[in-house]
Amino acid sequence: MSLKNWIKFIILALAWGSSFLWIKIAGQEIGPFTLVFLRASFALLGLVAILLFIRPELPRGRRWWVFAYLGLLNVAVPFVLISWAERTISSGMASILNATVPLFTILVAAAFLPEDGLSAPKVLGLLVGFAGVVVLVYDQLGLGTVNLLAILAMLLAAAAYGSSNVFARRQLRGMPPAAQAFGQTLLAWSIMLPASTLVEGSIFHLPRLPLTWLAVGWLGLIGTAMATMLHYSLMNSVGPTRTSLVTYTFPLVG
């Protein structure tokens, strides 16, 4: 990768890797659905401000079904799963489990992206990666059913991220990163507004602690708005498999 892409990679690693701590902090006062709704709200505000400044060409017509898919499986579902899982596992363990995203990305990319086909080194990497996950979570499996469900939720979130990376690469290639980030965030917010209200009454039970507001503000503006733009910029430049390798840095940061 170029120096410019390496700088984006490092900033993205710091932004997303530290998100697990802020999720843990916010989750002490509010539920996972409310957390994700507020996170998406801050992210949407940040992205609207960015769009007004740089004015990229926005998607039109049928492209919005792509953002509906990404808003659901690249934002709403994995964000809720991670926020729920961190109620019973540590932020460090969550960051380790999220580092399985490249494994799922490689598997899906091999099926749908000809330039990212499987090779012997990739197969070996998959086997070593899955073995590493088993080793890392083995001592957590005996801590009860809830803990096991949290681990499975994290792996399901990682699978959603992996498949979404490949889907976005196929459907949104060449679109400005700000437009990509705005499209999926807008649809995710549209999903989380009714979902969080129905499940947790989020509109009527907002946080009271300043630290919680700081956490969701950081998660929205830095961990979602800025990070999503960097993510799509890297996806456009180096592809989904290399971009997903940023998750390998999360255990160190988290």
Q: Is the pLDDT reported for residue 89 higher than 70?
A: yes
Given the structure tokens 């907002």, which residue do they identify? 206
Q: Name the nearest CA neighbour of 96 among 42, 124, 134.
A: 134
Give the residue-averaged pLDDT of 55-78. 84
Burial label for 126, CB within 10 Å (0-12, 13-18, 19+), is middle
pTM: 0.86
Cα dihedral angle (225, 227, 232, 236), rounded to 10 degrees? Answer: 140
Alpha helices in the chain, H assignment, sequence order:
3-17, 19-26, 32-54, 63-70, 77-85, 91-98, 101-112, 120-137, 145-171, 177-200, 210-220, 227-238, 240-244, 250-253
Query: How far is the C-alpha of 153 from the C-alpha of 231, rounded, in Å?
Result: 23
Of the ranges 85-89, 107-111, 160-164, 222-226, the best mean pLDDT one:
222-226
Tell me what the pLDDT averaged over the chain comes to.
Answer: 85
Task: Copy the structure tokens of residue 191.
Answer: 């999903």
Task: Copy the structure tokens of residue 149.
Answer: 């469900």
Which pLDDT tens digit goes with each residue over 114-143?
A: 666 667 777 787 677 667 766 766 665 555
* Start-to-end Cα distance in the chain: 24
